[in-house]
Structure 1
Amino acid sequence: MDNQAFCTNPQIWKNDEDERPNVQFNWDKSARTIDNLLMSITELSSISTQAFKNYGDKIKSEITKVTRDIANIQRVQDSIDAAQKALQKTGNQKNNFANYTKTETIKLKKIVNASYHSTLCIFHLKDSIVCHDNCGLEFNNTSSGTSYFSGCFCMGSDGICNQCGCGPSSHVHDKVKLVEQTQTINKVLEDIKAQYDDANQQHQKYSNDVTSYQSSLSTLQTAANAKYGHIHKLCHDLSKICSRFNFVDELHTHIESMKQDSRMIQNINLRKNAELEIQRLEKLANDLSSKRGRNYS
């Protein structure tokens, strides 16, 4: 801009026919230059300013989400720990009640083939009753329905068998004998089995809970890691449109809050993972701010 009009005494040139047109020309030229400059300023795009605000809001929003994820991760981890303790307890109960059967030895009577004949009742064969073993009567293999066996040793004075309580007509001869066999059986103790079944049901429930919580924890951790990556990208993008942005100042409060939340995580591996990501974010903020300082030093 030509400052001649301001830097000289108007009395010198205002009445000078040669100098006044020259001063007027330069004044008009300067005025047009200012008009053009103002026009250019009004036409400048506001996209960078709006983009700066949008990026800043997105970064803070993602950090808030990560902070919430850290809290949720600890809550899920607490649920896992509680479920695992219950799983251990019900597992011990299962083991305590696992022996709900008792071995017993019993003696069974059974009719088997023999080389001699005995007297049997046709109505009590299923009860494994031999009315007269090794009967002294002549072998009679006819069908029942006669009084032949009224003289058998098993019959009482009243004509009724002392073993089965039936009359002579229901008896026959057969070459069999009664033997006693020993058999081992497992007897279920119902009260103990009921406690085992209950413990087993609870054990299965807590096992499913642990699996479900671990799946939720994995999902939360993956989501948090993705948010950390998104924050890094947003910071890099913001540094491109606003190289003077002080990331340390802007992110300091949020990073300190994240550090405090990460200290609440009781699982060592989860805490290390959170602290590592926070350190990476802190380093990114320092690096970008240092780059800003180098560019404008």
Structure 2
Amino acid sequence: MTSNIMRCAFLPCVCDICKCSPFMHYDDTRKPIKKTKTVQEILDSVKAAYDSSVQKNEAMQNQIGGINVDMAALNAALDAHEATIRKCCQDLKNVCSQFSLVKELSGIIGIMEKAAKNLKSVEARKNAHDRIRKIQLVIEELTRGKNVVKASK
């Protein structure tokens, strides 16, 4: 309750200024001011928001371009390592004839398939399945006893 409401022993009390009850009374020293914006102020704020979104869009496009370059480099490195793995598998088969490389690679394929199921990107899932198929080709070549060093594409 404010000082405008009379303090009396009987209810209801009434405001001296607006004659309202204490339950409905609102007393504030601030007065509402109606502001109007000019068309130029509105255009400036919209232009600033547009310029900000254009700058953010350009920054995101640059990041996407950088990510694409990184992905291409990673794919090239994976392809290079794939050839090395093929040669190492053949060498390992020649050196350790008792070692079941096919069984080990089958276990790795199982792990890779589980990880591929969790991928959200369709392209990443496709790339993972391509890599899995290449490892399965290595397994088939090892079981047939062919030379694994040749590339399969």
TM-score scaled by length of structure 2: 0.58
Q: Is the 8 A contact 2:105 2:135 kept in 1?
A: no
What is the aligned partner in structure 2 of residue 191 from structure 1? 45
Structure 1 stretches of 5 or more lacking a match?
Answer: 1-100, 103-187, 293-297
TM-score when scaled to structure 1?
0.32
2:124 paired with 1:270 = yes
Structure 2 unmatched runs, 5+: 1-38, 147-153
Separation (CA, whole Å) in 2 of partners of 1:207 and 1:280: 33
Q: Is 1:233–2:78 an aligned residue pair?
A: no
Superposition pairs for residues 2-151 of structure 1, below 5 Å? none
State which structure, 1 or 2, has the greater radius of gyration over its C-alpha atoms: 1
In the alignment, the residues of structure 2 paired with residue 245 and residue 286 of structure 1 have an alpha-carbon distance, to the nearest angstrom, of: 16
Following superposition, the deviation at residue 211 of structure 1 comes to 1.0
Deviations 1:167-225 (A, max 9, x none): xxxxxxxxxxxxxxxxxxxxx93222211221121111111111111112222222222
Q: Does 1:245 align with 2:107?
A: no
SS, match of residue 145 in structure 2? helix
RMSD value, Cα:
2.6
Relative to structure 1, the CA distance from residue 192 to residue 269 in structure 2 (aligned partners, 3 Å threshold; closer, same or farther) is closer
**1:247 and 1:289 in contact (8 A); partners too:** no
**Using the alignment, how far apart are the partners of 1:192 and 1:248 within structure 2?**
64
- Deviation of residue 245 (structure 1)? 3.0
1: distance between equivalents of 2:46 and 2:88? 63
Does residue 62 of structure 2 align to residue 211 of structure 1?
no
Q: 1:268 to 1:221 in 2, by over 3 A?
A: same
User: 1:290 deviation in Å?
Assistant: 4.2
Aligned counterpart, 2:56: 202
Give the structure, 1 or 2, with the largest relative contact order (CA under 8 Å, sep 6 or more).
Answer: 1
Question: What amino acid is the match of 2:84?
Answer: H
> Which protein is richer in strand relative to its size?
1
Distance change (3 Å), C-alpha of 1:244 and 1:287: farther
2:139 matched to 1:279?
Answer: no
Work out whether residues 263 and 271 of structure 1, in 8 Å CA contact, stay in contact via their aligned partners in 2: yes
Please list every run of at least 4 consecutive aligned residues from structure 1 whose deviation after the TM superposition is greater than 4 angstroms: none
CA–CA distance in structure 2, aligned partners of residues 289 and 246 of structure 1? 10
The count of aligned residue pairs is 107
